Structure 1
Amino acid sequence: MKLSQARFMIAIAMSCLVAVASLTKAGNFGGGGNNVGGVAIDPAGVVRSATVEENQQLLNLLRNVVTAPAGELAAATDLRLVSLSGLQDAIIEVRKTGARLPSEIRYLAGLTGVDYVLVDKENNDLILAGPAEPWTLSETGSVVGTETGAAILQLEDLVVALRNVENSRAQGISCSIEPTAEGRQRLNAFLGRMKLRPGQNPSVLEAGMKQAFGPQMIKLNGIPATSRYAAILVAADYQMKRLAMAIEDSPVKGLPSYLQLARNTSHAGSMNPRWWMECEYDSLTRNEEGTVWKLTGQGIRTMTEQDAIAADGTATGAGKSDKLAEKWATSMTERFEQLAKEMPVFGDLQNLMDLTVASTLIVQEQLENRAGLELVVFRDQEMLEMPMLDAPQTIAPECSFIKGRSGWVVTASGGVSINAFQIVHDQQVDTSLTNQIASSRTSTWWWNK
């Protein structure tokens, strides 16, 4: 959509909104409530694992709105190109009829990742390109590819990423799950009163320890707490903790829990490991003209550091890490692609990384101006009103404890960090990249290379 046409088209579209005002926000996008990746958020903001019944209810709901792909969309391809100008036009046409956005729009023509961001000056367009598959529903209600099980990109996440580039400029996008200082103090007091008899299993104290420790707090930065984007961050962080703490069995061989690795080793009670996932790619390269960008790598690395716990219960990064915690973080990073296909919420997190880097690149490099395109539909709050989930606030006491030779280790902290500006800043020139990637363009808003 050219800059000169954009506002005119929006004016037409806005007049159509009156006719569709009765549609719910979730209905417009075909949302699935407060259940993401097998993790539920209740109206009080408490995060927990979804029950079998809740997952089934979600599947029943989604089966009514997630339609199977047809035509060329029913086949996988190594490279599918999605025109953002054409996608905007397609959204406007649907809005004129008052219908829900169809699955091919909501799921970005089946893209499972973003490998390229292209500027098509001749057609006043920006293009996202990457592998694509037909889509289906996983057992937990995630939308995944039928060929590999990889999570499918979603329009809803692209819109949130693009709208919040400036909000994330100062401190990035992040999620953290943290125990409270008061909870740590209560736990220390509890342990001070309790003594294990020789040979007694430390697990007898676990219920009391969890009660003393209390709920952990969720902190979100850079994106709306009521968005699906935020729910994915929290759900992926929550599931990572459950894997590390042996609360949930790993579905991937070679990824034992940290607790399995660390039993019967020496631990200082004032030092506890924490893990987080951060945005990291092998490279972001561009051609000399600045019209083709290529993103390489899985996009996520798991990191770890020891938390030093003070007497008042506050925690600060100690600037060092435990070797076994490092081993677990490295193992998760190496097996992340496989894990993402077994637990699609991690694939959804990878997709957030791709979409956030692409959105940040578009804003930071002023690609709309270069293309002669304005992404007005994506940014317009009334045209694309985002579904609102219950904001995640706390996690009920759910943590694991190790009784080491030198003290107790509590594994409860975690997080996700997305600093897309750093990825964009570190881009390099690759003279082998050419404009030929988009040469197969058709009249539709998506096509295969």
Structure 2
Amino acid sequence: MTRLFRLTLVVATALASLSISQTTWGQNNGGIGGGNTTNDFAQPIAGVDIDATGVLKIRMFDPRVAQQRLMAARQQRGNDLMRPSKLRKVSLQRLEAAVNAQRENGGEISDDLRAMAGLTSIDYVFFYPETKDIVIAGPAEGFVADPTDRFVGMQTGQPTLLLEDVVTALRAYAPQAKPTNVISVSIDPTAEGLERLQQFLGSIRNVNRAMTPQIVAGLKNNLGLQTVTIKGVPTNTHFARVLVEADYRMKLVGIGLERLPVRMRSFVDRSTPGARGNNALERWYFQPRYDGISVSDDGLAMKINERDVELVGENERVVDGKRTVSGRANPASQGFCRDFTEKFPEIASKVRIFAEMRQLMNVAIAAAYIQEQDFYTQADWNMPVLGNEDAFSVGTYNAPEQVETAVNAVWRGNQLMTPLGGGVQMQPRKALSSSAVSVDASGDNKRILGESGPEGLKDGQWWWD
């Protein structure tokens, strides 16, 4: 007698066209500057590459490169730039002038510019009417490039801001330009793929454990490649790639194909077999929490008080290859979203891609504030270099257009759960609405604005503590 099994299959998108390292570089033990970092740097460092045809490849980087770079960076700790700072200020116009000077001299952009003087977040936006400087500010620390040439702080292991990401955000909210309403990434199956998937599911009979490889292959082949849609920023930028990877990694966590270094239960762990039908989809997407912005009474100083990110779900069903929103809530999906949101600060401290996504959300809010306050006009600055792709290029990557499907088979019940689509969505201007912004009655923003301004800076100096 043949023993029959009930099969739970989980399907999600898997990335097929990224060129981003997936190392967390010492973040699990307190960062590069502390803990047993020698052992961290002795381990092979994995990343991903794509070739000219867009084929994804895993690449292992020599750990000796990381060790050598860390040792060299530690020798520069006496340098003011490499010292930790609770608040480092960067003038955007002076930054542009420094970039242009290096460009005109025919040299490559230096690491201090590329890493934004070691800023690990944007906490403030300031405008100084006397000098007409537009300034961003936040904590900073000494930094080092990992073997994939992405910068991380030597103390915390957190990623630094990247000049190219800041420029991408500023262009989304450029001088005299229509403001960008939404910056988003979505990874979605095609209608044809969903229809083939439904037909394939209807053909499955008398499932047993030995059929698992065939069923998994059938799901992947019938659903086929999924489509990446990027809005608000150019598709061939690092900014866009971070959002795509963050979405991808989140989905793999949800379906149990990736485990975070944080104690939490995935969607699969929480799911009850039979709770939903075979044509049910689960969509999850990241968005910033829009409250927590405070401004001075004159608008010259803005602070991002909160930097939380939330994961939200949207219930869907598939009928004849078309997705429709369902009003039914799924407790497993709700629990997964709730835990991911509550533990996001801890997750971001240990998994760099989520810290980078949070950074970009704050960068976009800062850029939107600069445009909304019309600091460009007040500063008489139209970003002649940073706003010009020919002068400073940020579109230097192969754009992700399609992804493959990943499948996780879990022998627990007879429900087929397919968390497909979703992504990352942000509406930076929403954070600046009257309902989300408060006036800083304490005067702290204005006090910090005036504590150390750009007056008296040396020629060529673009950052200060």
Same-fold call, TM cutoff 0.5:
yes
Deviates more, 1:153-162 or 1:421-430: 421-430
Residues 104 and 320 (structure 1 numbering): CA distance in 2 closer, same or farther, change over 3 Å? farther
Whole-Å separation in 2 of the counterparts to 1:412 and 1:184: 10
Whole-Å separation in 2 of the counterparts to 1:207 and 1:81: 53
Determine the structure 1 residue equivalent to 2:270.
Answer: 261
Cα offset for 1:34?
3.3
Residues 67 and 98 (structure 1 numbering): CA distance in 2 closer, same or farther, change over 3 Å? farther
Determine the structure 2 residue equivalent to 1:35.
Answer: 20
Whole-Å separation in 2 of the counterparts to 1:92 and 1:198: 65
Whole-Å separation in 2 of the counterparts to 1:174 and 1:257: 24
Aligned partner (choices 270, 275, 291) of residue 279 of structure 2: 270
Cα offset for 1:96?
2.9
Residue by residue over 1:95-134, the C-alpha shift from the partner in whole angstroms, topping out at 9 and shown as x without a partner, is 2321111111111111111110001111110110111121
Aligned residue for 2:406, secondary structure, equals coil
Whole-Å separation in 2 of the counterparts to 1:174 and 1:76: 33
Whole-Å separation in 2 of the counterparts to 1:56 and 1:175: 32
- Asked if structure 1 preserves the Cα contact closer than 8 Å seen for 2:286 and 2:423, the reply is yes
Query: Is 1:222 aligned with 2:232?
Result: yes
Whole-Å separation in 2 of the counterparts to 1:181 and 1:42: 28
Aligned residue for 2:259, secondary structure, equals coil
Cα offset for 1:198?
6.3
Query: Is 1:305 aligned with 2:322?
Result: no
Residue by residue over 1:287-328, the C-alpha shift from the partner in whole angstroms, topping out at 9 and shown as x without a partner, is 111110011212421111111211x21112224531111111
Cα offset for 1:416?
0.5
Whole-Å separation in 1 of the counterparts to 2:193 and 2:102: 51
Deviates more, 1:297-306 or 1:285-294: 297-306
- Asked if structure 1 preserves the Cα contact closer than 8 Å seen for 2:124 and 2:138, the reply is yes
Determine the structure 2 residue equivalent to 1:19.
Answer: none
- Asked if structure 1 preserves the Cα contact closer than 8 Å seen for 2:69 and 2:144, the reply is no
Cα offset for 1:205?
1.9
Residues 403 and 180 (structure 1 numbering): CA distance in 2 closer, same or farther, change over 3 Å? farther
Query: Is 1:293 aligned with 2:310?
Result: no
- Asked if structure 1 preserves the Cα contact closer than 8 Å seen for 2:286 and 2:312, the reply is yes
Residue by residue over 1:330-361, the C-alpha shift from the partner in whole angstroms, topping out at 9 and shown as x without a partner, is 11112222222322111111111111111111
Whole-Å separation in 1 of the counterparts to 2:255 and 2:149: 24
- Asked if structure 2 preserves the Cα contact closer than 8 Å seen for 1:305 and 1:322, the reply is no
Whole-Å separation in 2 of the counterparts to 1:395 and 1:431: 49
Query: Is 1:417 aligned with 2:453?
Result: no
* Structure 1 stretches lacking a partner, 5+ long: 1-32
Residues 298 and 363 (structure 1 numbering): CA distance in 2 closer, same or farther, change over 3 Å? same
- Asked if structure 1 preserves the Cα contact closer than 8 Å seen for 2:281 and 2:318, the reply is yes
Cα offset for 1:41?
4.2
- Asked if structure 2 preserves the Cα contact closer than 8 Å seen for 1:35 and 1:41, the reply is no
Residues 328 and 137 (structure 1 numbering): CA distance in 2 closer, same or farther, change over 3 Å? farther
Residue by residue over 1:40-65, the C-alpha shift from the partner in whole angstroms, topping out at 9 and shown as x without a partner, is 4444446x5x5143x559x78x969x
Figure out how many residues of one structure are paired with residues of the other and give that number.
409
Residues 213 and 381 (structure 1 numbering): CA distance in 2 closer, same or farther, change over 3 Å? closer
Cα offset for 1:256?
2.6
Determine the structure 2 residue equivalent to 1:279.
Answer: 288
Aligned residue for 2:130, secondary structure, equals helix
Whole-Å separation in 1 of the counterparts to 2:427 and 2:54: 26
**Letter of the aligned partner of 2:19 in structure 1?**
N
Determine the structure 1 residue equivalent to 2:161.
Answer: 153
Cα offset for 1:265?
5.2
Determine the structure 1 residue equivalent to 2:462.
Answer: 445
- Asked if structure 2 preserves the Cα contact closer than 8 Å seen for 1:73 and 1:110, the reply is yes
Aligned residue for 1:35, secondary structure, equals coil
- The residue correspondences of 1:13-52 to structure 2 (distance < 5 A) are 34-37=19-22, 38-45=47-54, 48=56, 50-52=57-59
- Asked if structure 1 preserves the Cα contact closer than 8 Å seen for 2:228 and 2:401, the reply is yes
Residues 365 and 41 (structure 1 numbering): CA distance in 2 closer, same or farther, change over 3 Å? farther
Whole-Å separation in 2 of the counterparts to 1:244 and 1:131: 32
TM-score with structure 1 setting the length: 0.83
Residues 427 and 411 (structure 1 numbering): CA distance in 2 closer, same or farther, change over 3 Å? same
Whole-Å separation in 2 of the counterparts to 1:285 and 1:52: 44
- Asked if structure 2 preserves the Cα contact closer than 8 Å seen for 1:118 and 1:292, the reply is yes
Residues 216 and 125 (structure 1 numbering): CA distance in 2 closer, same or farther, change over 3 Å? same
User: What root-mean-square deviation, in Å, do the aligned CA atoms of Structure 1 and Structure 2 show?
Assistant: 2.9
Determine the structure 2 residue equivalent to 1:235.
Answer: 245
Residue by residue over 1:14-63, the C-alpha shift from the partner in whole angstroms, topping out at 9 and shown as x without a partner, is xxxxxxxxxxxxxxxxxxx93354454444446x5x5143x559x78x96
Whole-Å separation in 2 of the counterparts to 1:302 and 1:173: 16
- Asked if structure 1 preserves the Cα contact closer than 8 Å seen for 2:308 and 2:345, the reply is no
Aligned residue for 1:223, secondary structure, equals coil
Aligned partner (choices 436, 447, 453) of residue 436 of structure 1: 447
Cα offset for 1:216?
1.3
Determine the structure 2 residue equivalent to 1:20.
Answer: none
Cα offset for 1:72?
1.7
Whole-Å separation in 2 of the counterparts to 1:415 and 1:103: 31
Deviates more, 1:365-374 or 1:295-304: 365-374
Query: Is 1:94 aligned with 2:102?
Result: yes
TM-score with structure 2 setting the length: 0.80
Query: Is 1:78 aligned with 2:86?
Result: yes
Whole-Å separation in 2 of the counterparts to 1:370 and 1:130: 23
**Letter of the aligned partner of 2:84 in structure 1?**
A
Whole-Å separation in 1 of the counterparts to 2:417 and 2:114: 44
Determine the structure 1 residue equivalent to 2:14.
Answer: none
- The residue correspondences of 1:264-413 to structure 2 (distance < 5 A) are 264=273, 266-310=275-319, 312-400=320-408, 407-413=415-421
Cα offset for 1:440?
2.2
Aligned residue for 2:159, secondary structure, equals coil
Determine the structure 2 residue equivalent to 1:207.
Answer: 217
Cα offset for 1:67?
6.9
Counting aligned pairs with the same residue, the percent is 28
- Asked if structure 1 preserves the Cα contact closer than 8 Å seen for 2:133 and 2:379, the reply is yes
